[in-house]
Amino acid sequence: MTRLEEIVRIIEHDSPDVDELTQLAEEAIALIGFCKEKLTVADKQIEELMAKLS
């Protein structure tokens, strides 16, 4: 999350050139994918734990 916030700050305030912007966008997309996968796994684990309580 911290790196994503840093990328946003760089894009908004540092006016990166096209090459750097492309690299930052690729990094952000990879980070978002990683976070989404972690959240999906955590959600599934929580659902399984909740099902055990029923």
| pLDDT averaged per 10 residues, the chain (length 54) | 96 95 98 97 97 90
Q: Are 3 and 37 in contact (CB under 8 A)?
A: no
Domain ranges, residue 30 = 1-52
pTM to 2 decimals? 0.78
- The angle at the Cα of 45, spanning 1 to 28, to the nearest 5 degrees, equals 20
Kindly provide the b/e burial profile for residues 32-48, where b requires at least 16 CB atoms within 10 angstroms of the residue's own CB.
eeeeeeeeeeeeeeeee
What integer pLDDT is reported at residue 54 of this predicted model?
81
What integer pLDDT is reported at residue 2 of this predicted model?
95
- Report the number of distinct structural domains present in the chain: 1
